[in-house]
Amino acid sequence: MLSKHEVEKFNGTGDYTMWKEKLLVHLDLLDLLGVVYPELEEIEKGKATETDDSKAEDKKAEVDKPSKSKQQSKARSIIVLSLADNVLRKVTKEKTASGMLKLLDDLYSPNTLSSRIHLTQKLFGFAMQQNMSIERNVDDFLRVIANLENVDVAISDEDQAVMLLMSLPPQFSGLRDTLRYSKT
């Protein structure tokens, strides 16, 4: 089955978390996510075997499904095609899709103590740039929040709102003061 969806190539400098999310959605659309994360497939099997009707459907689906090695090969191929050459060179020795993703996580996922400290500093020091649009500034802010959530640092919605409000450029000081001192 060919897909009309494509994932942009990850070159090692962009937002790894968002790229990975898009890749996983792409694999899911092609019914290959269970190859990369076998535990998901086991959960689905557990749900499906609860009823007798689903057992018959499962047998039919097993006949229609390509072999595991074929699925593994397809998933790996999709990952390879979604990587720029400089990143591909680092993971090409991995022969499974799940192995490639684990190695990519190790290389590009900010999950170390120093990464958490850096991201937390980035959040608390965040200030909107006057030369950028509000949308772009908010996107940068949300990127920092998403990266922190990926390293298991939770920031409440209320705290996010306060930090975003305090990061507004000087020309929004009137709005900031109005929101800060309003009685609602």
Helices (H), 5-150: 16-29, 33-36, 38-48, 52-64, 68-81, 85-91, 97-108, 113-124, 134-150
Asked if the model's pLDDT at residue 156 lies above 90, the reply is yes
Residue 32 or 116, more confident = 32
For the chain, the structural domain boundaries read 16-108, 113-181
Band (152; pLDDT cuts 50, 70, 90): confident
Mean pLDDT computed over 99-119: 84
| Category of 149 on φ-ψ map: left (φ > 0), alpha (ψ -120 to 50) or beta | alpha
Percentage of the chain modeled with pLDDT above 90: 44
